Amino acid sequence: MVDIQHELISDLATRMVIPLGRLSHFKNEQMQGLTPDIEYEGEKLLLLTPQIASMPSSQLKDPIGSLGHFRDEIVASIDFAITGI
């Protein structure tokens, strides 16, 4: 689960999130631009942008790491979902 919500709006009771899935489970379901490949600690993952959602902050655990270096890919996938470009 990737928490994509900026800390500037941390007073809300919910957080916007995008799930991750193992790339091996989604080999034939990738969509160029919408579900970018992400590698974290040697594991190949797929950002499942079409499943973007909000969830209560209380259900999120402490972060185990950062995908900040994938910021451009994450923002581009959200933009693609909204604008198609």
Tell me the pLDDT tens digit for each residue of 13-35: 999 999 999 999 988 888 999 99
Domains and CATH numbers, the chain: 2-83 (2.30.30.110)
Tell me the pLDDT tens digit for each residue of 33-72: 999 999 999 999 999 999 999 999 999 999 999 999 999 9
Q: Is the pLDDT of residue 85 over 90?
A: no
pTM (2 d.p.): 0.91
Whole-angstrom distance, CA of residue 65 vs CA of residue 79: 24
Q: Which residues pair with 15 in a beta bridge?
A: 55
Q: How many CB atoms lie within 10 A of CB 46?
A: 21
